[in-house]
Structure 1
């Protein structure tokens, strides 16, 4: 009896995903609960378990395919793994029995090859998903290594990047048929009529782009995973939210001295004391005083949702793209607690280990390009939040003080600030007051220590 496995609704308003890994082959046997596919939904990678056991009869998707709820993923034959073959097949894995040299009583000439195949098959059939970070899985796909054939050296048998690289260099590792890059290239080279159509998430553009190949060689590659999700969300936010930008600079000279004086103590606790951490505390104080910047406009367009919590998202640049983990209850935590938590969240973001829950529920966002290089920029609000704060590079700047008759010039460390806000919820005057409150906190480090 054949049964279909389809992509079920993962909830939280998600309707599509991208196939990033296929963990089984046609003809292989699986048990109920075995991971058979890995898919990426927006910014989180999830392994899909088999709903029941059996032999994989057909795989209906390929790596790189975009699937929607209800799409067929694969077909399983048999009620469970044991029903997939006869009693003899249960002990040897089914179809592999016909291969010469793989049985215990087979030819001695084929014993070496048979032992190798048996060992790799044993590893492939281990119950449950292989413990590995998404970044490690991505590395394995790029190097053509099957994770199931690796014995992880990390805690609890977790497969590490070093394990994957070692396996790639070993002659005993069975390579995958082709890497993720080749999969994408092959998909792009397929005739349009044979390619799996991508689901439409937004209306088709009102214009027809020109044939760019008229002017030279071009390459067409799909917009994938995080970059695709970012493109959709940013286009939606820009189209639906009337943005206004308020710019200012904060004198963080004293704050930088405070940061340096306390950096070692925070590092000993497992965190990294950065300007971003201190800005989070200043932002929390301003949000508490001016809650309409911590709000959202309801779907009816006539109701303001005031949030009595302060969950601030922090943009983190990763190899996958821009991810925004959310730090909960910023207004209730000390600077040291925030430093430790943000350090761990940032690491997990770069390693691809964040869950969807850790990137949801934000009420305000902070994004800092100063560490990469950028004097100033204007960020786009994350829908459905009311505002986002962009930080530029803090620079020593000559600042004139005094009056026209007795001016004086000093070198001060100035931090550029850009508050992008939803003009439906706040006006320019409120934005100026909000940034002024932040400037006051940043220029007075003692106030940040007291804000717990």
Structure 2
């Protein structure tokens, strides 16, 4: 009964209100201004279009190259669906979407450099999303600048701002002077689109070295993939076209030409842009030279290790104990394990220096941060250049495990498929330059590390025997030089010498290493 009376009262009030509105509208139309319909929301609805920031995909990476986009403006994406592929610090990575929605804007074209921590795509996010997740995607707004003058066109340049009332294409075409008769117009360069051409990292490296834009090369591989042969064919066609169109010049005596060149002796300089690997090496080594280095070299006898390695390789070949992972052992796994075992006694070589005091205690003094895992980076020579993948947690691996991980990283490095996880987190580095050549070297300490070991070429030398009673007997020895570099801000020479002595003892007496394997 109460609800029936309430509903009748509401209907009567509604009829009375409509009657008053009609009366006022008829008597004074200007006095009645209808109000727009109001939303029944208690608070203002949030905008769902958010600029997504490019996340940090590796230690020390501040920018990366957009290789290709998998989406276009207006495309619908699901959670974890790929957005683009980027090349960063010698590795290709796919960036996926954190939310489902519709792509509104791409901030970069394929081939451009994207900044880490800056927006790279705008997505109209759909569904229930937490406010803190949206704030994590949005960059902090810069303070608004008041009364900032609008920069005008620079002298000697024309303004390119387009407005709805701008000149039409016919007017623009009419304002451009026509080319004279007989003049060959240069070939127009195609504008780069949102999607780069498909190509392997080795092909991209070749295109950068030769200065060829991949988007201009027609691909003949699978799905239009650009091959190395396509790049060479494109270069041959491009270099031959100016020769065909050029008008013949009058012949010049050969003697006059040679005399002019010999007399002038002009130096010719051809600028060549750096590859992506060279750029990262330039930046990394520039930062590393801020670290005061000191060098410590030692000669190590490999004779016992050579004998042990030969015996183990025979056992692996006959019994098949490698489980198909490693068919032949090299010297590098033994050296890496020896370095890891020395870090237990001298953990300072596995530390890093925190100069900015980012240890959470609010102190601005430099701090030495010790690390428990032995993640040893190994310098490798690849078609893309020098790469340093990391063998993780060496302290928990045996010789076969280290050899298997080295084989996996080597195959990925040659194919250009190393991930950021494979190349990050290193605590100390080993560089085996002796596999290429060279006896002595002075390695450079990598940033966020305090020590590095360089291994020279192994060679056979005559030496006096150490066996009792045979001190005057000359025998053949296999020796190799180890060159250490350390951060002299935190590591002194005596500490590095003692640690190097532990490594030398383990390599010269590999049976001791076997007793301490974990």
Alignment TM-score, normalising by the size of structure 1: 0.65
C-alpha separation in 1, matches of 2:95 and 2:281: 24
C-alpha separation in 2, matches of 1:321 and 1:410: 40
Show the 5 A alignment for 1:386-397. 386-397=450-461
Aligned partner of 1:426 in structure 2 is 491
Show the 5 A alignment for 1:5-16. 8-10=54-56, 16=62
Aligned partner of 1:373 in structure 2 is 437
Aligned partner of 1:119 in structure 2 is none
Aligned partner of 1:236 in structure 2 is 287
SS class of match (1:370): helix
Mapped contact 1:60–1:72 kept (Cα < 8 A): no
1:338-376 Cα shifts (integer Å, max 9, x gaps):
111111122112222222122222221111011111111
Comparing 21-30 with 427-436, greater Cα deviation is found at 21-30
C-alpha separation in 2, matches of 1:43 and 1:293: 26
SS class of match (1:410): strand
SS class of match (1:377): coil
Aligned partner of 1:145 in structure 2 is 219
1:359-404 Cα shifts (integer Å, max 9, x gaps):
222221111011111111111111121110000000001224579x
Aligned partner of 1:383 in structure 2 is 447
The unaligned stretches of length 5 or more in structure 1 are 80-124, 151-162, 170-174, 183-213
User: Cα–Cα, structure 1 residues 72 and 148, in superposed 2: closer, same or farther, change >3 Å?
Assistant: farther
Show the 5 A alignment for 1:50-449. 60-63=108-111, 65-69=112-116, 134-135=201-202, 144-145=218-219, 149=223, 216-239=267-290, 241-266=291-316, 268=320, 269=322, 270-271=325-326, 272-299=328-355, 300=357, 302-400=366-464, 407-449=472-514
Comparing 315-324 with 411-420, greater Cα deviation is found at 315-324
Aligned partner of 2:63 in structure 1 is 17
SS class of match (2:448): coil
User: Cα–Cα, structure 1 residues 302 and 67, in superposed 2: closer, same or farther, change >3 Å?
Assistant: closer
SS class of match (2:86): strand
Pairs aligned (count)? 349
SS class of match (1:417): strand
CA RMSD in angstroms comes to 4.3
> What is the Cα deviation at residue 224 of structure 1?
3.6
Mapped contact 2:460–2:477 kept (Cα < 8 A): yes
> What is the Cα deviation at residue 219 of structure 1?
2.8
The unaligned stretches of length 5 or more in structure 2 are 1-47, 127-194, 208-213, 239-264, 358-364
Aligned partner of 1:451 in structure 2 is 516
